[in-house]
Structure 1
Amino acid sequence: MKLSPADALVYTMVIAAVSDKDVSDREVDRFAALISRWPVFANFDIGRLPQVASDCVDLVNKGGLDALLVMITDALEPRLQETAYALAVEVVTVDLTLNQEELRLLEMIRDAFAVDRLTTAAIETSARIRHRRL
């Protein structure tokens, strides 16, 4: 099955959200905000989100995370792999804490995608700054 780039980006957010086995309301709200605001989702029908998310979870359960990361990588050109990594970071940092499962997932995504360490560090720092609270 070949994913569309937009679906691959949503899949990346879904696997980021489920990495710690608990999808919070903040993470779900972040999905909607990202999809409605980021230009890369301009042609994505938000009404499809529940089905795309469900398809993603089914694929993880059937084929495993490694196989899904290959599908996502194949669907995204390198510049969109950077975008996908940024989306994953946005989702995992929304609750202001990162557990071992989330950190491991980000490492797996970094390894699967063509994103260099300097770029990933910049993305991670930017997300941390955006999510800070007083």
Structure 2
Amino acid sequence: MSASTIRPEEALIYAMVIASAADTDMSEKELRLIGRLVQTLPAFANFDPESLSRVAGDCAALLDDDEGLDRVVDMIARALPPRMRETAYALACETVAVDGTAHQEELRLLEILRHQLDVERLVAAAIERGIAARYRAL
């Protein structure tokens, strides 16, 4: 598989990795969440969880290039069928939300991802609102 071609499951992982890396701090909470989601979500039923570290590392290595983020976001969009693009956006939002605070860099990344994945603004707002409610503390 070439460096510019990834499987849909890998694209979903890439979306979570770039969301985690957006603020330059991949927290332990974010990494545990990614692992848990890969273990439990139906979207990953055909994915070997043992490959998670390799896939995340491949994504992180791509981000080291000057145009790495643009390249990764493009790879995500090309790898996903249209019906899975909202899922990718939701997973990225959940990764941002798990820490309890969304930093400006993370919000900008979500905006870039939403545009590249062509997620409608109202759909994105619904996803964001639902995830915010899910992670709201008492």
Q: Which amino acid aligns with 2:9?
A: A
* Structure 1: 5+ residue stretches without partners: none
- Structure 1's consecutive aligned runs of 4 or more residues displaced over 2 angstroms after TM superposition are none
Q: Which amino acid aligns with 2:129?
A: T
Q: Does 1:67 align with 2:71?
A: yes
Q: Which residue does 2:37 correspond to in 1?
A: 34
Secondary structure of 1:101's partner?
A: helix
Q: Distance in 1 between matches of 2:92 and 2:118?
A: 15
Structure 2 matches for 1:13-52, cutoff 5 A?
13-52=16-55
| TM-score scaled by length of structure 1 | 0.96
Q: Which amino acid aligns with 1:37?
A: T
Structure 2 matches for 1:1-134, cutoff 5 A?
1-62=4-65, 63-134=67-138
Secondary structure of 1:14's partner?
A: helix
Pairwise CA distance, 1:57 = 0.9
| TM-score scaled by length of structure 2 | 0.94
* Structure 2: 5+ residue stretches without partners: none
Pairwise CA distance, 1:23 = 0.9
Query: Do 1:78 and 1:115's aligned partners in 2 also have CA atoms closer than 8 Å?
Result: no
Secondary structure of 1:2's partner?
A: coil
Q: Distance in 2 between matches of 1:106 and 1:13?
A: 10
Number of aligned positions between the proteins? 134
